[in-house]
Structure 1
Amino acid sequence: MQPALIVAGSTLDALLAEASGWEGAFPGGVAVGEPLLSSARDLRDVARAIAEAHPVRPGRALVLVGHGATGGANQPYLALLDELRAQGRADCFLGLLDGAPGIDEVTGGIKAAGLGTATLVPLMLTAGSHVARQLADGAPDGWQAQLRAAGVEADLDMRGLGSLPAIRTVFLNHARAALRP
């Protein structure tokens, strides 16, 4: 199985517990691949994919918004931001729907950097219900509306990470690695 998860957390824990119950049902057992952000190489590859898909635009922040995870599993998100910045992307900011940094920290960072516009990008495999309910302009408390209310003009890229070929390659590599003895 290859979970379509960004980070390890309680959802992966539940999946692994479920998978272990099926070990004897399949010859060779059950193999489970790693989430997207599982290694330093993943961080480099994902940061490059994001940077290629979203080139620097002067005066504009790139705001990656992830779901977030419980139990301290948000560290890989923060490490991804560090990797993007190490690759020269001072325009990147990270926000989490569940956890920190939240919208207030993101807004403060954008303003402190002197940027007046931002593009919100879901740091999620697909741009589904979270994007529609919590990011998009039509949501009264959505991040796009909150940024605008704070004086930052914001648009929203509706593509999930799964639309990027390099991201699909990382997941495929994880699935292949899980199959190796």
Structure 2
Amino acid sequence: RIREHEGLEISHIREALEQAAKAEIAAIAVQPIYLIKGYEYGVLSDLVSSYGDRLGRAALGKPLLSDEGDLDAVIKAVTGRTASYDDGKTAICLVGHGTESDSNRIYVRLQEKMEKAGYGNYYIGTLKKEPGAEDVQRALKKKGCYKRVVLEPLMAAAGGHVYHDMAGEEADSWKSVMERDGYEVECILEGLGQIPAVCSIYVEHVREAISSLQGICI
């Protein structure tokens, strides 16, 4: 998709690791843009580990939501981007991917922290796991004061999930579901990676990964 729309050639991580091994790179840090330690993060971790014999040292950076400080920083970032919508009549719904792994509970924790911080018009749901669209629907109806819904991706980049599952015209998209409930719906078609404060979290994580490589300081 990137090659088609932007003309950029970006190697698959396996290709990049292979190139590094052939170039006899002594140390490498890999920073994923995943939000949580879900299934994909585990697959990546195994892949990086499999190059242990060919790369002198390798470190894998943490995903975006790795500790309480990360959650606080992301809350500040996403609420800052959508502050103008928070008028008491608009529900801001953050739509994540979700995972079958135990790390899915981070979405629930993020919701708890947002409520505790006073962001009562923000709701978190996922495409693949609970809380799902139906859970968010029930929460909005229970509140009973909303006229408008803003859908914001809780994902690093706006790809197919955002354009189809969240904001698409398909009958089962979040946009269509909310419109059938009578809400005016607006979609933000930018991932978290478009927010500088979120990028700073990733940068800090890759710094930590680099620092973990023996003998390398930054």
TM-score w.r.t. length of structure 1? 0.95
Q: How many pairs does the alignment contain?
A: 180
Corresponding position: 1:24 with 2:53? yes
Question: Which residue of 41, 52, 64 corresponds with 1:36?
Answer: 64
1:58 shift after superposition = 2.4
Question: Structure 1 vs Structure 2: percent identity of aligned residues?
Answer: 29
Alpha-carbon RMSD across the aligned residues, in angstroms, is: 1.1
Instruction: In structure 2, list runs of 5 or more residues that go unmatched.
Output: 1-29, 213-218
* Structure ranking higher on relative contact order (CA contacts 8 Å, 6+ apart): 1
Corresponding position: 1:126 with 2:154? no
| 1:106-121 alignment, distance < 5 Å | 106-114=136-144, 115-121=146-152
Corresponding position: 1:138 with 2:169? yes
Asked if the contact 2:91–2:150 (Cα under 8 Å) also holds between the matched residues in 1, the reply is yes
Asked if the contact 1:93–1:106 (Cα under 8 Å) also holds between the matched residues in 2, the reply is yes
- Which letter maps to 2:76? R
Question: Which residue of 1, 8, 12 corresponds with 2:41?
Answer: 12
Corresponding position: 1:60 with 2:73? no
TM-score w.r.t. length of structure 2? 0.80
1:180 shift after superposition = 1.6
In the other structure, the counterpart of 1:84 is 114
> Partners of 1:120 and 1:57 in 2: how far apart?
15
Tell me the SS of whatever aligns to 1:31.
strand
1:137 shift after superposition = 4.1
1:158 shift after superposition = 0.5
1:179 shift after superposition = 1.5
- Which letter maps to 1:60? T
